[in-house]
C-alpha cells in the first residue's frame, strides 16, 4: 500500500502556493515544512503527498511517464479541482470527462510540469 508520493520541484515556494490552494478543496493540509520539502495529508492521515527540491543537488526535471492520481468525491469535485489547478497556473492535459465506464477524470501539469490526475470512480 502506498504511504506517500513525492514529486520534484524547481521552486519550492511556488509549489507550496500551488499545492496549498489545490489541496484545500480536497481536505488536505500541510503536515511538515522543511527547507527542501513540504508534506501534505488529509485530515484522517492515510496517504500523504510531498514536493521536494532534488536531494542530489542536480537540476530538477519531470519524470517521463510519472503521474500522481488524486481521488475526488464526485464529478463536480473533479471539475472544480481541474479548474482550480488551471487558475493556479497548471496546464491542461485532458479536460474532465469519462475515460472508461464509471471512471470520470481530468488531467493537468503543475507549474513544474509534473502530471496529475483528479478522478472519481462511480460506484
**Residue pLDDT, tens place only, 48-99:** 999 999 988 888 888 877 899 999 999 999 999 999 999 999 999 999 999 9
Residue with cell 527542501: 36
Mean pLDDT for 109-120 is 95
Q: Is 62 exposed, middle or buried (0-12, 13-18, 19+ CB in 10 A)?
A: middle
pLDDT for residue 34: 94
- The structural domains of the chain, with segments of one domain joined by +, span 4-54+67-121
What contacts 6, CB < 8 A, 6 or more positions away?
A: 37, 49, 50, 51, 52
Cα separation of 58 and 122, whole Å? 42
Q: Is residue 123's pLDDT more than 70?
A: no
Pick the CATH number of 4-54+67-121 from 3.40.50.300, 1.20.1440.230, 3.10.150.10, 3.10.180.10: 3.10.180.10
Model confidence band, residue 107 (pLDDT cutoffs 50, 70, 90): very high
pLDDT for residue 95: 98
pLDDT for residue 1: 55
**How many degrees, rounded to 5, is the angle at CA 24 between CA 22 and CA 61?**
30
Relative orientation angle of helices 75-87 and 12-24, to the nearest 10 degrees: 150
Mean pLDDT for 18-38 is 95
For residue 62, what is the enclosing H or E element?
Answer: none
Whole-model pTM: value is: 0.84
Cα separation of 98 and 88, whole Å? 24
Query: Which grid coordinates belong to 105?
Result: 477524470
Amino acid at each position: 500500500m502506498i504511504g506517500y508520493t513525492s514529486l520534484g520541484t524547481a521552486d519550492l515556494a511556488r509549489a507550496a502556493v500551488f499545492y496549498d490552494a489545490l489541496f484545500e478543496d480536497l481536505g488536505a493540509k500541510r503536515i511538515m515544512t522543511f527547507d527542501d520539502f513540504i508534506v501534505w495529508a488529509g485530515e484522517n492521515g492515510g496517504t500523504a503527498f510531498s514536493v521536494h527540491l532534488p536531494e542530489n543537488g542536480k537540476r530538477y526535471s519531470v519524470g517521463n511517464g510519472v503521474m500522481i492520481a488524486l481521488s475526488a468525491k464526485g464529478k463536480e469535485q473533479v471539475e472544480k479541482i481541474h479548474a482550480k489547478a488551471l487558475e493556479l497556473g497548471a496546464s491542461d492535459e485532458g479536460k474532465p470527462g469519462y475515460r472508461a465506464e464509471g471512471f470520470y477524470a481530468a488531467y493537468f501539469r503543475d507549474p513544474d510540469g509534473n502530471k496529475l490526475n483528479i478522478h472519481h470512480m462511480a460506484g
